[in-house]
Amino acid sequence: MRATMERLGVTASFSRPRVSNDNPFSEALFRTCKYRPDWPVRGFASLEEARNWVGGFVRWYNGENHHSAIRFVTPEARHRGQDGDILPQRVQVYEAARAANPQRWSGRTRNWQPIGSVWLNPERSDPCCDHHGADDALTHKAGGGGPMGGAEKRAA
């Protein structure tokens, strides 16, 4: 895979928090691609074939794939505000299922409350921390010590 990426001119990068075009995001998307049943394990025969496959993947990813981070609705439904109609229906379905078979439920049902705003790169509240180093890997409230202990650990 690495040789193919290099041959295609794809440059590897190192992960940095809250950078949308960095490894964690692209690797997560690539993993989703690779686990699609129609992923071409032998590669694409042409650029046109690759473009057609990616176009179909994007349509599926945004219009059919239910994303756990947005309460198992599609990005398209979320973008159109349809999750406000979908999620209350799910609450009713889950409550009815629990009432019909209470022995199958060991706790509460899934949280189907709509989530708030979704941000790929949230704004930082602390302007002193724009260095994207190892300390950014954990929040500044993180416990422990060492190099990833947070800003207040270094200041103390």
Backbone φ and ψ of 30, nearest 5°: -65, -40
Give SS3 for 83. helix
Please tell me the predicted confidence (pLDDT) of residue 37.
93
Q: Is residue 79 part of a domain?
A: no
Q: Is residue 38 part of a domain?
A: yes
Query: How many structural domains does the chain have?
Result: 1
Backbone φ and ψ of 37, nearest 5°: -60, -30
Tell me how far apart the alpha carbons of residues 1 and 5 are, in angstroms, rounded to a whole number: 6
Q: Is residue 25 part of a domain?
A: yes
Residue numbers of the domain that contains 20: 9-65
Joined together, the tokens standing for residue 56 give 């179909």
Please tell me the predicted confidence (pLDDT) of residue 22.
59
Tell me how far apart the alpha carbons of residues 112 and 63 are, in angstroms, rounded to a whole number: 20
Q: Is residue 141 part of a domain?
A: no
Per-residue b/e over 35-67, b at no fewer than 16 CB within 10 Å?
Answer: eeeeeeeeeeeeeeeeeebeeebeeebeeeeee
- In this prediction the pTM is 0.60
Q: Is residue 145 part of a domain?
A: no
Q: Is residue 40 part of a domain?
A: yes
Q: Is residue 33 part of a domain?
A: yes
Closest CA to 119 of 28, 17, 31: 17
Q: Is residue 35 part of a domain?
A: yes
Give SS3 for 40. coil
Tens-binned pLDDT, residue by residue, of the chain (156 aa): 778 878 888 876 655 665 655 566 677 888 899 899 999 989 999 999 999 999 999 999 999 999 988 999 999 999 999 999 999 999 999 999 999 999 999 988 999 999 888 776 667 676 555 544 434 333 333 333 333 333 433 344
